[in-house]
Amino acid sequence: MSNHKIVVIGAGLCGSLLAIRLKQRGFDVELFEKRPDMRKAKISAGRSINLALSNRGLKALKMIGLEEKARKITIPMRGRMLHDREGELFFSPYSGREGDYINSISRGQLNSLLYDEAEKLGININFNMGCVDSDPDSGWLTFEDENGKMTKIVAEAVFGADGAGSAIRKAAMERSNLIRFNFSQDFLTHGYKELSIPPGPNQSFRIEKNALHIWPRKTFMMIGLPNPDATFTMTLFLPFEGKDGFDAIRSDEDVFNYFKKWFPDAIPHMPNLIEEYHDNPTSSLGTIRCFPWQTGKRTLLIGDAAHAIVPFYGQGMNCAFEDVVVLDKIMDQTGSDWERTFSQFQRVRKPDADAIADLAIDNFLEMRDRVADPVFMQKRKLEMELEKNFPEYYSKYSMVTFLDEMRYSEALKKGRKQDEFLLELCRREPDIQKLNFSELLNELGRL
């Protein structure tokens, strides 16, 4: 086998997009994926089947020429639809700007789109090939197929894009002392379970189609995202333990009573609730950080393998896609000098990966608790007004989600300051009509 091959481990969203980009740059790329081809196999139930695609992700798709194709399989979500315990609805737009919205997309459909494109470009995707051994310095890799057959290859450069449970990262853990591999994994005390709302009569959407639905209940919540087949993927985020936690909801009656108490307006739309609650797994949520991402001379961790985050900002995929955009820009300078590429990439990108990890945890608190708070709602209204009237104004949410030219680390810094200032302002002055917007904008500029 040629010594000039670039190998991408993991043909998930990030790995597939990365392989396509490297191929477009003229490299001889090969993809390895431990799972079977999802275009032929069924995706397992109850496992994050849809995602929110926003500007950073779209920019990456545009880079490889797939933005338009991807947009065709999305459903725009223009804001949060809040459901209170009485079933009252309140819609809170994501932005005051017309064109700013996020997009619900099926993980399976998007990944299949990337597979088709990769194969069209002549990239070989080796399915059912799990990486069982790797030498990050020499580029030697060993794969095991579904029949236990081993294959050894050597690569000029190896990208570990194999997700939160990365085998390439685990290999780095084995040589921790040698490379001084800093690593942390932190779990939330909350877990999640996926449920669903089926289509209504004539394939209609049973609840508002163009929104991300939230049932915020202070210490826990349920959310719902629309799918093109008129279903909604519902995700319940509860503590594992305690009074209102998964552990306390066991029998059919428990489930029904819990929903009746906390999410009564959802019950009529969820005919399979009891069955799904029992059948679907309860999964944990965690943040993974590590460094270096360059685990050897020839190996780089990228995407979730380098930085797995909790899902509450809808930025996991967007961040992983942006990794490839950042890498691509560096390669404009470094070309095929992989050691330089890898070391520059990790230096430039690490602060942003750390920032979005923190932001994602912040947003959990915001979604389950603060969204329903009157002062917070007032602040959101004020921000909508500012965004409508001043093109230069971006809320923290908008910086992270829509302003793809701003780094996450900058969005975190500016956004937090701005939030603090505006929340304090709304606490003091509940009537936003009384505010002088131009003065306010000046003050925000000074922050």
Spatial distance between the Cα atoms of 401 and 314, rounded to a whole number of angstroms:
9
Spatial distance between the Cα atoms of 324 and 198, rounded to a whole number of angstroms:
36
269/347 with CB nearer its own copies? 347
From the CB of 176, what's the least distance to its own copies, in Å?
A: 6
Residues found near its own copies in the complex (CB under 8 A): 176-178, 180-187, 189, 240, 283-284, 286
Beta bridge partners of 253: none
151/182 with CB nearer its own copies? 182
Spatial distance between the Cα atoms of 404 and 191, rounded to a whole number of angstroms:
30
Say which amino acid occupies 312: F
From the CB of 293, what's the least distance to its own copies, in Å?
A: 15
From the CB of 259, what's the least distance to its own copies, in Å?
A: 25
164/207 with CB nearer its own copies? 164
From the CB of 313, what's the least distance to its own copies, in Å?
A: 21
128/283 with CB nearer its own copies? 283
From the CB of 283, what's the least distance to its own copies, in Å?
A: 7
From the CB of 188, what's the least distance to its own copies, in Å?
A: 8
Cis peptide before 351 (omega within 30 of 0): no
Q: Is 328 within 8 Å of 63 (Cβ atoms)? A: yes
In terms of DSSP bridges, do strands 307-308 and 232-239 run parallel, antiparallel, or are they unpaired? unpaired
Beta bridge partners of 299: 158, 296
Strand order from edge to edge, sheet including 75-77: 50-53, 102-106, 75-77
44/185 with CB nearer its own copies? 185
Q: Is 163 within 8 Å of 48 (Cβ atoms)? A: no
91/183 with CB nearer its own copies? 183
Q: Which single residue is written with the structure tokens 């932190």?
A: 186
Give CA separation, 290 vs 9, 51, 170, 184, 442, in Å.
Answer: 18, 24, 11, 6, 39
From the CB of 310, what's the least distance to its own copies, in Å?
A: 13
73/179 with CB nearer its own copies? 179
